[in-house]
Amino acid sequence: MATTNNHNFSKGTDLAVILVYIMMVAIGVLCIFMIEYNPNLNWSNSFLTAKTNFSKQIYFSIFCTFIAIFILLLDSKVFTALANLSYVGGILLMLATFVLGKNINGSKSWIPIAGGFNLQPAELCKIFTALFLAKYISKPDTDFKKLKSHLIAGAAIALPAILSIMQHEMGLALVYSSFIFAMYREGLPPLILVVLLSFAILVITTLLLEPTLLAIILTVIAGLFIFSMIKRFKRNKNKILLVLGIWVVCFGTVRFAVPYIFNHVFECYQSTRIYSMVGKEYDCSQNKKSTSSTGERRSKKPDDYNVKQSKIAIGSGGFWGRGFLKGTQTRGKYVPAQHTDFIFTSLGEAFGFVGTFIFLGLYLFFLFRLVRIAERQRSAFSRVYAYSVVGIFFFHIAVNISMTIGLFPVVGIPLPLISYGGSSLLTFTALLFILLRLDADRQMVLR
């Protein structure tokens, strides 16, 4: 089905990655088939007329094969040359969706193209952003130790992310945070990672604990800290100010920022999902967005139905799984959006822990292989791009699987190469094969 014999047109292409790619796409088609399976349907007929999702996915993968071959046939320099241009084009395309956009599943991020297919520019923009970031960091006059370059790179990443949020694609926006891998590798101070992690912990504890209690705890910690280090602080008064400053930020986050974000920035369902992760119920009547937009106070039921059914499906797989086409959750269509965001459930139910373990092993091998590829690049451009790809893939895999097993709030992002969807498959194919193309020329220095 997919790419064959790349030696003819590209020496040095990483065959292991291609092999894993083919396996993943095949597994994806298989999973979609399991979800759609119905003994009463005429398969050959529906395949030819492309009426079923699994047959559409096969057509998508054939199309992607051509794209992959096409990319491998290009010159590596094309990517450096077009990096900035493509980024601008991608942003324009995203802006265009506000005009041309079609509403699919509540997010207005799709542009209808010929043949009943739709394109999601935000997906493609990930590639362009990766290229742009690589281009920017690899510029000879960029010193990525400086804060200024951090801010420029951050802004370039934030722009498509903000546009995605405006299109109600929270998941896609979050993906842009995965560029932090590439930036970290290129010199972002680890302190930033530590601060971000601490901040995340603070937000989670805010959700878990009573705000007043947490404020007291924070104050006590600050007090103890100052008390125990009192001698050092006497020598350097600025440090006291630093501790106090941190205390103020933490306190502000707990008392004002987090409630504000949950009640004013997030949609009701988003707040609910996040709260349900920590086992709490969110009171939608507090949410200004849901009340103001509809004009009337409307509180929705907490929608942890997806996660519940998803956990049931995966959990009922047990150790060996229920067997191919034997999953009752899958056959009964109990898991919503199972062929897209929750596709991991069909795998978990049919093949059990053994299946999911092997599957995750394959993904892990794939990611480690990409890291190795990244590290063997001579040019910064290729390396930054490679780490961007690692980050994007990893983020998708980790978040998607975590949400199906109840470790992360439900955000709508697909499982790379597995989930049904042409845009997603095309994006990941292009992302990956551009990397393979660059890797084939790893001895070259690209700028």
State the CB neighbour count (10 A cutoff) for residue 277: 19
Virtual CA dihedral for 121, 124, 127, 128, nearest 10 degrees? -40
**Rounded to the nearest whole angstrom, what is the least distance from the CB of residue 368 to other proteins in the complex?**
6
Q: Quick one: which of 129, 287, 329, 346 contacts other proteins (CB under 8 A)?
A: 329
Cα–Cα distance for residue pair 401/359, rounded to 1 Å: 11
**Rounded to the nearest whole angstrom, what is the least distance from the CB of residue 120 to other proteins in the complex?**
26
Q: Quick one: which of 79, 132, 176, 181 contacts other proteins (CB under 8 A)?
A: 181
Cα–Cα distance for residue pair 160/156, rounded to 1 Å: 8
Give the strands of the sheet with 102-104, arranged side by side: 102-104, 107-112, 118-119
Does 187 engage in binding with other proteins (CB under 8 A)?
yes
CB 156 within 8 A of CB 132: yes
Taking the least distance from each CB to other proteins, the nearer of 177 and 402 is 402
Angle at which helices 15-36 and 422-440 cross, to 10°: 170
Does 27 engage in binding with other proteins (CB under 8 A)?
no
Taking the least distance from each CB to other proteins, the nearer of 101 and 171 is 171
Number of residues that bind other proteins (CB under 8 A): 47
Q: Quick one: which of 154, 259, 302, 406 contacts other proteins (CB under 8 A)?
A: 406
**Rounded to the nearest whole angstrom, what is the least distance from the CB of residue 175 to other proteins in the complex?**
15
The half-sphere exposure of 21 on its side-chain side, counting CA atoms within 13 A, is 26
Does 356 engage in binding with other proteins (CB under 8 A)?
yes
Q: Quick one: which of 394, 420, 428, 433 contacts other proteins (CB under 8 A)?
A: 394
Taking the least distance from each CB to other proteins, the nearer of 211 and 315 is 315
- For CA atoms 80, 83, 84, 86, give the dihedral sign: positive
Taking the least distance from each CB to other proteins, the nearer of 314 and 435 is 314
CB 72 within 8 A of CB 362: no
Stretch (H or E) spanning 110: strand 107-112
Does 279 engage in binding with other proteins (CB under 8 A)?
no
Contact footprint for other proteins (CB under 8 A): 38-39, 181, 184-187, 309, 311-319, 326, 328-329, 331-334, 348-349, 352-353, 356-357, 360, 363-364, 367-368, 371, 374-375, 387, 390, 394, 398, 401-402, 405-407
